Amino acid sequence: MRQSVPRKRGKPTATGKKLTRYKVAAVQAAPVFLDREATLAKAASLIREAAAHGAALAVFPETWIPGYPVWASATAFWNYAPAKKAYNRLYQNAVDVPGPATEYLGKVAREAGVCVAMGVNERTPSGTMYNSIVFIGADGQLLGKHRKLVPTYHERMVWGQGDGSTLKVFDTAIGRLGGLVCWEHWMPLARYALYQAGEQVHASLWPAAGDTFHLACRNMAFEGRVFVIVACSYLTRAMVPADFELMKEIESLPEILCRGGSAIIAPDARYLAGPVYNQETILYADIDLAQIIEEKQALDVVGHYARPEVFTLTVDRREITPVTFRSSMEEGEPTRFAAP
């Protein structure tokens, strides 16, 4: 099912003019599970489809490349050999940011004239992975990324914790774009940091979203006076590779592993599209950024409805790394040479 009808689209970067009224797309689709290259090819097709329907922004689900680790809740044991092999398969198909996968997505985005928010398993040379959103402009440039701050429950056996260096909002041709992943929407201070950064359009990434998760999304739309594009996966057991190391655990799970729940929500918490379940689809809705200002007449939680003399928030934007290398010269000390 594909919602909405095609119409002529504009490319926001053609003249440098910013768009304030445009169409957005929430992509609800299955990845080619645990196959990065095939999933990238499917992403390209879906981005082009969204562009053909007039969308200026396409939002994809959580860790869509190469898929959400649906097995983690059943295998959260540190020394379980099949889980180690599954982790390695996920890592081998994960994404370097920046890297060839983001360059490819940038090329597709540029050709289609569409901004993209893509959920990826991001890998690092050390062997750690992160649950990340990659943001790409309609000109194909990598705007940046956001790493999930707190992996939820069993996810901590798969991903590391992000830090404040990626809690950002990006100024784009379609407005100020940001995003959070899954249960980050229950983190009030993370939400507030994005509001203060001037977020207008919010990419909300989930593996699947039921009623409680939609409560978080609609709350964020209303609280922050932002448009929220909810993107969820659709995945069944039949889509898992037959040679997957944890098929026994997969077979113990429901037939539908991720049932979707994608939607598009206005700054007054109204649904503009969806939610839709149990199928692959792309949801579309026309948005007007002027509505954000209209809704802020009554509520602006970082403006006239704030009390900064009572409550303050400090966000540490430093990138946290386990090792910092400094040369002796940088430390202001004389260089010392070993005796011959």
User: Which residues does the annotation mark as catalytic?
Assistant: 62, 148, 182
Phi, psi of 117 (to 5 degrees): -115, 115
Give the Å distances, CA to CA, from 203 to 5, 99, 230, 262, 331: 23, 22, 7, 11, 42
Distance of CA 248 to the CA centre of its chain: 30
Quote the CA–CA distance of 223 and 217 in Å, as a whole number.
Answer: 10
Give the Å distances, CA to CA, from 13 to 35, 111, 325: 32, 11, 40
Quote the CA–CA distance of 143 and 307 in Å, as a whole number.
Answer: 32
Q: Is there a contact between 112 and 99 (Cβ–Cβ < 8 Å)?
A: no
Quote the CA–CA distance of 185 and 146 in Å, as a whole number.
Answer: 14
Give the Å distances, CA to CA, from 33 to 49, 145, 237, 292: 21, 22, 10, 37
Quote the CA–CA distance of 148 and 179 in Å, as a whole number.
Answer: 10
Beta bridge mates, 335: none
Mapping DSSP to helix (H, G, I), strand (E, B) and coil, where does residue 214 land?
A: helix
Q: Are strands 21-28 and 271-277 parallel, antiparallel or unpaired?
A: unpaired
Quote the CA–CA distance of 102 and 281 in Å, as a whole number.
Answer: 23
Quote the CA–CA distance of 136 and 169 in Å, as a whole number.
Answer: 12
Q: Is there a contact between 116 and 105 (Cβ–Cβ < 8 Å)?
A: yes
Amino acid at 150: V
Burial of 239 (0-12, 13-18, 19+ CB in 10 A): middle
